[in-house]
């Protein structure tokens, strides 16, 4: 347990807690911050979380990202930033517009992986702006491995349980 006294530290912690409440109210409630005499007492010190709150993002490993690889739970990594593309994938034109099927297959192939090289090669500045809205965090450690995906067929993805 850590108590925060008065002064600059208390003000900093108050700012972090306030930011946490605004950024992610449901996530904030899982962490044990309590008010005590106008200061914040932090039960089970959370310095890593505090840094994440200041940045407004959580951190993930590539293994954690890899677990989100189905059409109903789709995360990707681009430039060490983690994105939850599930809402975009569910509403993608490729499900109903035959002209967009190849784009949908590329997206489905990239789920749960770092697809930096592929994304950089084919996306416009507008797409980059759209992508930013889906960011949920960053990688805990920079990816030094592959940043290119292996495209799969619809049949392969069915066999793997992706779609």
Per-residue pLDDT of 69-115, as tens digits, reads 998 999 999 999 999 999 988 888 878 877 788 888 888 889 999 99
Residue 28 is predicted with a pLDDT of: 41
Whether the model clears a pTM of 0.95, i.e. scores above it, the answer is no
The span from the CA of 149 to the CA of 111, in Å, is 9
Residue 57 has pLDDT above 60, yes or no: yes
The span from the CA of 80 to the CA of 144, in Å, is 10
Cβ-count burial 124-146 (b if 16+ within 10 Å, e if not): eeeeeeebeebeebbbeeebeee
The span from the CA of 147 to the CA of 163, in Å, is 23
In sequence order, the β-bridge partners of residue 149 are none
């Amino acid at each position: 347990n850590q108590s925060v006294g008065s002064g600059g530290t208390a003000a900093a912690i108050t700012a972090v807690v306030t930011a946490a409440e605004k950024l992610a109210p449901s996530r904030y409630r899982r962490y044990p911050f309590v008010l005590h005499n106008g200061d914040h007492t932090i039960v089970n010190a959370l310095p890593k979380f505090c840094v994440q709150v200041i940045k407004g993002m959580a951190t993930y490993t590539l293994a954690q990202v890899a677990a989100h690889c189905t059409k109903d739970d789709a995360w990707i990594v681009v430039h060490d930033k983690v994105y939850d593309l599930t809402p975009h994938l569910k509403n993608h034109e490729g499900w109903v517009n035959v002209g967009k099927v190849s784009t949908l297959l590329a997206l489905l192939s990239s789920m749960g992986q770092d697809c930096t090289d592929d994304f950089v090669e084919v996306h416009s500045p507008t797409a980059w702006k759209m992508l930013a809205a889906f960011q949920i965090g960053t990688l805990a450690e920079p990816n030094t491995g592959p940043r290119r995906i292996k495209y799969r067929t619809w049949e392969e993805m069915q066999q793997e349980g992706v779609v």
